[in-house]
Amino acid sequence: MKPRHVAVAVLVATIWGVNFVVIKVGLRDFPPLFFSALRFLAAAVPALWFVGRPKVAWKWVVAVALALGVAKFGLVFVGMAAGMPAGLSSLVLQSQVFFTVLFAAVLLRERPRPVQLLGMAVAAVGIVVIAVDYGVSSPISAFLLVVLGAVAWGLANVATRYARPPDPLNFIVWVSAVAVLPLLALSLLFEGPAADLAALRGLSWTGVGAILFIAWGSTLLGFGLWNLLLRTYEASAVVPFALLVPVAGMLSGWLLLGEAVTPVRLGAAALVITGMAATTLKRRTPRPTPPAVVEAPVAVP
């Protein structure tokens, strides 16, 4: 990759890591489900004017909106509101790789390679260590909610594979738009209209800034730049940069929120990142041997 594109990949990973800190800050002003709905509303409304109609079947837009927008982000926001630290959330959420591989094996008949299975086993050890260490001093329910969010993300990944959107930015904008109403309905049901109205009445610049950062910075800018990289380079060259997300998340959580980063958690994080890195390794295929030509030598590019 060119140096400027490496810088873009690092920038996106940093934005996505810091995003967890911004979520934690925004949860001080909003109920979690209502906050998630406002985030998708802010991302979808200005962008719908530019992306045009959905370019895949509506069933896939709705399926991914429910799995990714409603289930994944709803569970993650609720888990973080219940006490899950921003840095650990950014790390634990990477367990979506396990569930993506599992669902792809069952639903798409994609057989994981031995190196992927080994990497997932290593990362699973790290996740278990984090769960034990976190559960000593905090409610394990918050941790499990984020893990369930990773499960929902895995389902969304498989649904996206089925959909194969030709324009990923168009797809994510419509997914965001469809997710708004179900999240608002869930917020009214579980959090109550009084809590939502109180959040709007007490709206602060911090809350507005959190919504705009997550909607425009993390969702639209981050996804747009990531999509640009994927259009320019092979996925195997781009995807490993996503491993920097939990690094940025844990570092920014420590610097900006004073979250504890213990040696045990650092060791577990190293296991998770190493394991996830192994799942991104690409199988090398031998270059086909060009057929022999008698008349003249063949130049191989």
Q: 23-32, 145-154, 155-164, 290-299: which has the minimum mean pLDDT? A: 290-299
Structurally, the chain folds into a number of domains equal to 1
Q: What is the pLDDT of residues 119-146, one digit of tens each?
A: 878 888 888 887 777 665 667 889 899 9
Q: 114-128, 152-166, 278-292: which has the minimum mean pLDDT? A: 278-292
Domain range enclosing 123 = 3-279
Look up the pTM and report it: 0.85
Residue 216 lies in a domain: yes
Residue 285 lies in a domain: no
Residue 294 lies in a domain: no
Alpha carbons within 13 A on the beta-carbon side of 265: 21
Residue 263 lies in a domain: yes
Residue 287 lies in a domain: no
Q: What is the mean pLDDT of residues 50-56?
A: 89
Residue 284 lies in a domain: no
Residue 223 lies in a domain: yes
Tokens standing for residue 86 = 């921003």
Residue 295 lies in a domain: no
Helix (H, G, I), strand (E, B) or coil at 22: helix
